[in-house]
Structure 1
Amino acid sequence: MSKKRSLALPIDIVLTFSIAVFLLALAPGPDNLFVLTQSALNGAKSGLWVVLGLCSGLIFHSAAVALGLAALLKASVVAFTVIKFAGVAYLLYLAYQALRAPVQALSQDAPKRSAFSLYRRGLIMNITNPKVAIFFLAFFPQFTDPVYGSMIGQIALLGTVFIIVTFLVFGGVAILAGGLSDRMARTPKVQLWMNRVAGVVFIGLAAKIALGDR
């Protein structure tokens, strides 16, 4: 007997997917480590803008899977390599900025990065990591089935759930780490070391992307 056609993914599949995404977001990884260091250095609000940028990048990767671009990226060595090293170059640029950042006293006049600048950091970091699209290409189909209607609609739904869960988890990381920001900003030595830690994190992320296989 053929399956009865449905117009939406069953709630149990969506729930299972949500739990899987929650555990993935909670596990230590490049993105939440990035959010952690940025929030500790610049405060929770800054960290949340970074999170928003990262999550906006997930929209791009979800669309790439739905439209088949991720499959093309996986098949093309040249496209994968170009995007990968664009991401590596950007992360090394961020590492240079962090390692060269001056220590500033805490004051109302101390310059801070704009919301757009922080958002852009998260967005570019996510979009220029081709492994995210390829991960989506492998992960999403495990929760889809043609019997539940349009595959593009199913990918869009799962992508939306992925973004919401990721934003909640990473947002929590940003808020918790941001609580330490004011204390650290009052201590120049700690601030200096946090900038160095951030620089090392960026270099480590760049190395991981550069040395990783498809």
Structure 2
Amino acid sequence: MSIEFLVTTLIVVALPGTGVIYTLAAGLTRGARAAALAAFGCTLGIVPHVAASIAGLAALLHASALAFQLLKYLGVLYLFYMAWQMWRDTGALSVETTGDANGDEGTQKPLRIIVAGILINLLNPKLTLFFFAFMPQFVDPGAPGATVEMLGLAGVFMALTFAVFVVYGLLAAQARDKVLTRPQVLRWMKRGFASVFGAMGLKLALAER
């Protein structure tokens, strides 16, 4: 594993995207535990993209306009759905004003937070194409054990993703109490996150392969 890979990965992971925004929103609305669950879900959402890239399925997305558009618009619809839920204060990121975001729903809410994180990354076709273009730069595809090496690099990418997202989420959770005591700030915060999810959905809708 090269220093170039680690530096590039850290830059890519730290740049604000849908996963970062989702984790920040989880920390602010539901606390530290929810932020960690959101980070975990977003990290799990990377697994299918890594598998697709290694199996060569990313080439299908790149070659087939229909396959790419189908996955892209599923992602767009889900981001708009997240925006609508945040605007209405419902769903996985509804604001919890007591405790540490455990709620009164047993395991249902934590599971919803994880699943939402998985779907946010799973339904982004650009992520598969990113791995398709990114990983081969650091691995010789014709070398023995290339697949194992790619899996190792993917594991490092996922570990860094989880770690960076958790840091983002915990920092957001630290500001949670101050936000919850200011109803006007809370209202604009929710609208702000809803607008960001909507804007990201629009950006994905306009994206080309």
Alpha carbons of 1:146 and 1:131: their partners in 2 closer, same or farther (altered >3 Å)?
Answer: closer
1:205 and 2:193 aligned:
no
Q: In structure 2, what residue type is equivalent to 1:45?
A: R
Alignment correspondent of 2:118: 123
Q: In structure 2, do the counterparts of structure 1 residues 104 and 35 end up closer, same or farther at CA, with 3 Å as the change threshold?
A: closer
For the 8 Å contact 2:76–2:204, the answer to whether it is kept is yes
38-47 or 121-130: which moved more? 38-47
Within 2, Cα distance between the matches of 1:62 and 1:18?
17
Shift of 1:101: 1.7
Match of 1:106 in 2: 97
State whether residues 76 and 202 of structure 2, in contact with CA within 8 Å, keep that contact through their aligned partners in structure 1. yes
**Identity within the alignment, %:** 32
Equivalent runs, 1:1-214 vs 2, <5 Å? 11=1, 13=2, 15-101=3-89, 106-107=97-98, 114-146=109-141, 148-214=143-209
Q: Which has the larger radius of gyration?
A: 1
TM-score with structure 1 setting the length = 0.87
Q: Distance in 1 between matches of 2:176 and 2:115?
A: 21
Q: For residue 116 of structure 1, report the CA deviation from its aligned partner.
A: 0.7
Q: Deviations over 1:94-146 (max 9, x none)?
A: 11111112797833596677111111111001000000000110010000014
The CA distance in 1 between the partners of 2:95 and 2:19, in whole Å, is 26
Structure 2: gaps (5+ residues): none
C-alpha separation in 1, matches of 2:112 and 2:96 = 21
User: Cα–Cα, structure 1 residues 104 and 67, in superposed 2: closer, same or farther, change >3 Å?
Assistant: closer
Counterpart residue identity of residue 107, structure 1: T
Structure 1 unmatched ranges of 5 or more:
1-10
Relative to 1, partners in 2 of residues 1:64 and 1:104: Cα closer, same or farther, differing over 3 Å?
A: closer
Asked if the contact 1:91/1:206 (under 8 Å) is kept, the reply is yes
Distance in 1 (CA, whole Å) between partners of 2:134 and 2:115 is 26
Tell me by how many angstroms 1:209 deviates: 0.6
Q: Deviations over 1:170-198 (max 9, x none)?
A: 11101111111122122222221111011
- Letter paired with 1:17: F
Question: Are the counterparts in 1 of residues 83 and 193 from structure 2 also a CA contact under 8 Å?
Answer: yes
CA RMSD of aligned residues (A): 2.1
How far apart in 1 are the matches of 2:95 and 2:207?
36
After superposition, the Cα gap between the structure-2 partners of 1:26 and 1:104, relative to the gap in structure 1 and judged at 3 Å, is closer
Which whole-Å CA distance do the structure 2 matches of 1:90 and 1:105 have between them? 22
Contact in 2 for aligned 1:83/1:128 (Cα 8 Å):
yes
The CA deviation string for residues 60-98 of structure 1, in whole angstroms up to 9 with x for no partner, is 111111111111111111111111111111111111111
Amino acid in the other structure paired with 1:106: T
Secondary structure in structure 1 of the residue aligned to 2:45:
helix
CA distance in 1, matches of 2:190, 2:15: 23
